[in-house]
Structure formats: C-alpha cells, structure tokens
Structure 1
C-alpha cells in the first residue's frame, strides 16, 4: 500500500504537464518535444506534396488542357487550385481570347497598310527615275520603228510620222543615251541631236567612250539610215502627188521648212574622221537632204550637219564652192569689242577653258573672230559654267549678264545660232531659271538632257520648288 501511493500514472503525468505549460520554468524534455513537433510540421509539405508543380505551371496547364484532363488529375487525388488561382485562370483565358480576336483583326489591317506603303514607295521611286531619266515619250515611237506592224487605217497619212509634234528649240545632249536614239528627240520636238563618233576599222561608231562602243551602234545605223527613211516618207511620190516637193520637206510635218541639226562630235583623229564622215553622208547628200554652201549662199535643207570636238576647221573651209559640213564656232571669242578688251576674272577663266570641246585649227586661231560666219559655221557654242560662271546664289550677276549679252550679240551678228552647254541640271527650279534667262536673252538652242522639261516649256519659278 505504501509503495503504491508513490507511483505516478501516465494520465497524471500528462495532466501535470498540461497544468505546468504556463509555468515560467518548463522541464527540458517538454521543450525538446515541442521543437521536434514544430520541425515535423514545417517539413510536412516536403513529403506530403512532392509531385506538385509550380503555381504558374499549373495555371498554364489548366488553360491549355482539356476539361477531361483536369478531371482525371483531380480524380488522382491532386490538390485542387485555390480560389485565387481559378480567378486568375479565368481572367487569363478572357484576355487570351481578346488577344486572338485582336490578332485576327489587326494583322490583315496592318498588312494592307504595309502593301499601300510599298506601292507608294515604288511610285515615288518611279517618279524620281522619270524625273532624271525622262523617256516618257519613247512608247509613242514604236510605230516609227515598225510601221508595217500596224494595220492600214483611213486615219493614217503618208507624212504622219511627226504629225502633232511642234518643233522646239532644244538640243538632245548625248542623244545616243536615249532608249530610242533620234526618235525620242524627234518625238519631243527637239530640232537638234548629238552623236559622239569614233573611227575604228574604217567605221564610225557612236558612244560616249570606247568602253561603250558596240558593233551595231554605228552612225549609219543609228542616224543616217533612219533619217533617210524618215525623209523619204516625208517626201512621197504617189499618184496624187506625182513629183517631189522643192524644197524638200523636213522631219516635222507641222513645220516642213524646219531643218534638223545633226551635231557630230569628233572623238578620234580629225582628218581621218572627216574623210569617213564625208563618205557616209552620201545617202543624204545624193537625195538633196543636206544643207550646203554653194559658194555664194547657204541653201537650207532638211538636215544640217555640224562638226564639233576635234573637227578640223581648215578642212571645213577648204572647199570654197561647196560644203555640207559646218563648224561649231567658239562662242567665247565672238563677244563684242566693248567687253572683249575688258580685263576680268570671267574673261581670264573663259580664255583658259572656253574652247574645251572645239579643237580650233591654226587658221581659225590666226583669224580669230573674223574666221567664223554663216558660210562655214552653224552653231556658236561654249560651256556656260566655264565662260559665264555659275549662277550663284540662284541668279546671274550684272557682270555675267553683260558678258552673256556680248557673246550672244557677237554670234548673231555673224549669223550663227547660240548654244550654251554644261548647264545646271539640279535643283530643277534653278535649271528652269537658267533656261528662262537664256531664252529671254536670245539663245537659240537649249542644250538639255530632260527632253520633256524642255518640250513643255514650263519654266516659271515656283516658290516651293527650289529643291525638287
């Protein structure tokens, strides 16, 4: 009995432990028991949910998986998503549907505007190309090259090759660069064309340099033979018109008396090239289509041939009774006496470089200005940039205008036509301003690359067009 009163039962031990929890001093074994219990509680997720995925991974799986898949996962005992995750998934699905809808609407719309931008860009590029390489008229000359391909029509006339074309005082500079040489200039109405010729293997080839020469691009194939064909059609002999007109009709049906100037720039030895050119002009000469000097007067014909570059002036004037190749006189030495003797920077620059492109013979130098007149020369030409100077800023000075007027008066007094080359081409309004000044001062021929701009004669200055 005594021993039993001192025995402690397990239940009383637990009760005493519960009562003493709030006591300041706890037994050490109780603290150890509580710490081990807390450790077990903190580590509980590690062994209870080892196969669960991350929250965003489960959200994406719930969005892109089918409902049956979600049900099967739940049936396997997976922990269902929390309410906040379900709301996030619902919102995400709505936004995804809106995104797909906007994507389906905006992608075609953006593609449409991109195509419009591409078309607009191509249009701008083509516009720039046509501005700097103006061959808009070339498509209209196809019937000239293949007249037999068109069916006969009562609206066609024997001389309709140049109908409705008004001649314009322009010179087609480097005409052989056109898509259709000669015909492009005629379609625009230009009354002068230029061909650079090179003598090789007893043939005259046309090109800007030797690297541009080809066997088929010859003076005869590009200019002489086409001109013979055109003039034969312009001067027909039919049962209604039994004889050839005298004087001969020129290339322009609207102005049959207008001569076409063929400026031949000698690029090789002058004497040898002269002999070959004289020989190749025989088809035009034999038909009476060339302008010529008969020893007394100059008889105008449908074609006037002018030599420039290395053309020998002594050979031009060697025959005093007949000549049908005329000279391109140097305009800078023809200025009137009142400015000829005045020292100035413009005159010094002019003498140093003014004769570029016109190789004068000793005879021409000896006689100076008195050597040139309408019996041996047709043009009087010089570089505007080297003789007069550039119009800066955007206008000619009084000294430049006085020199220009003196040169023009000197050439006209000798019966020659004035032509300035090396004109500014850009900006377009500056070019138009220079053209308008030259025409106003009496220049007879505009040396141009833009055939359309010269033919339209729209030279009025626009305020907002200086840099176009």
Structure 2
C-alpha cells in the first residue's frame, strides 16, 4: 500500500477492507518502507497510517467507512526484530486506544480498525504475554486448528506457491481445490480469516481465474498491488450458482 502515491488513502478510495504496511524500528521511530534502502525519516507509521485513520474515523462518526461498521484490517508487517519492534508499536497503538479493536478481560472489543501483526515471528512472545492487547497475530497454516484462539490469531496467512502448484493456468486440480476449501473451512470454524500472499498479480486470465477460486472457497482477503484491477474484479464478481 505505502508505495502508492497516496498511502492508505488510495486503498480507502478503492473501498478495500484491509491495507498492509511494512515497518522498521529505527532508533525510536517506526518507519514504513519495503526495503531498508527506502527508509525515510518522514515516512512514519503515525504520519502515513495512524494519524490519518484517527482523523478519518472522527469524520466518519466512529467508522473508517461511514455507515459501515466492519473494522478495517491494518496488517502491519514487522521487518526488524519482532519483540522490540512490537513493543514500540504497542506504545503507539495505546495512544489511539479508541481506534483499535482490543482484547481485554478475556474478550474482544471491536473498534474501527483491527491491527494484525505479521512479519518477524518474535512478536508473538510479548503479544501472548499481554492481558490487554490492541493488536492480533497473523498465524500461518501451521497454526491452523491449534489451541491458539481467534482472540489471539485472528488471521491465517501463508505463501500460496509453497502450498499450491496451480497459478491460474488450466484447470484447478481437484485435490488442490479440496485442500483450499478445507483450510478455509477449518479457519472459519475457529473464527479466523484467511489470506494468501505470493499469488499471481499480473493482470490477465490466470490472475482472474485464481482470484475467482479464492473467493469461491471463501478466502477473506486477496493480495494485490493493483488497486484498480482488484476493485474492478470485485465489482464484477458473481458467485457461481
């Protein structure tokens, strides 16, 4: 998202329900960039995401999209050491306590934005230790069906190409379709959502075919850098009868 001309705002203009930001802990700052060589002290998580989201929710009377109560997912991919980066992130999330879905008192209290922590796995330890938490953990397929509840692992994500051979060309193998639907069924039964990254993102029939199968299986989020292409696909998508 952050490599688009208007980070966050471009995604919201396309009406998406999830945006992703990669963060690096540099000194005491959380900087947003895909690669270390792109780090810019002016591009902080607060300036690009947290402050604009807070302003938008105020203007939207408590919602990112006025009149639409479902939370926006803010997927935060930690690129530096996970434990220290998460603790720095947690301090910033606490400054916007009314903005974020919160786990407290053994319950999830929905907010306008749900922060989900991905990237470096060392974030898991300090997150699990918290009794009050303003973020949730992005699990992997290895976490599917584990004892970790959806109140901690709210999302199951994995690399498509490490789990499936089909890339949208030709027919989707029946065994892979069953595997995909079993994954989604298990996650949803545990109250978790599903996402795959590393899916084809070049516009064309293969991407359309793969996206169609993902939606038909009930996958909750589609990964793309092509905002207009995904919006057009979703607007035209019609589930099979």
TM-score (norm 2): 0.92
Q: 1:398 maps to what in 2?
A: 174
Distance apart, 1:333 and its partner CA? 4.7
| Aligned pair partner of 2:63 in 250, 266, 273 | 250
Residue 315 of structure 1 aligns with which residue? 126
> Which has more strand, going by share of residues?
2
Distance 1:215 1:178 in 2: 18
Q: Counterpart of 2:76?
A: 264
SS of 2:223 mapped into structure 1: strand
Q: Which ranges in structure 1 are unaligned for 5 or more consecutive residues?
A: 1-174, 236-248, 335-368, 461-468
Which residue of the other structure, out of 34, 48, 51, is the alignment partner of 1:222? 48
SS in structure 2 of the partner of residue 371 of structure 1? coil
Aligned counterpart for 2:162 among listed residues 386, 393, 409 = 386
2:186 is matched with 410
Match of 1:274 in 2: 86
More helix by share: 1
Alignment of 1:21-420 (within 5 A): 175-235=1-61, 249-255=62-68, 257-285=69-97, 288-311=98-121, 312-319=123-130, 321-334=131-144, 369-391=145-167, 393-420=169-196
Q: Does 1:433 align with 2:184?
A: no
Q: Which has the higher contact order (CA 8 A, sep 6+)?
A: 2
| Per-residue deviation, residues 296-333 of structure 1 (Å, max 9, x unmatched) | 321111011110011421222112x3211100011355
SS at match of 1:317: helix
CA distance in 2, matches of 1:315, 1:419: 24
Given the superposition, is the C-alpha separation of residues 206 and 427 from structure 1 closer, same or farther in structure 2, using an over 3 Å criterion?
closer
Query: What is the alpha-carbon root mean square deviation over aligned residues?
Result: 1.6
Corresponding pairs, count: 235
Q: Normalising by structure 1, what TM-score?
A: 0.48
Q: Which moved more, 1:385-394 or 1:272-281?
A: 385-394
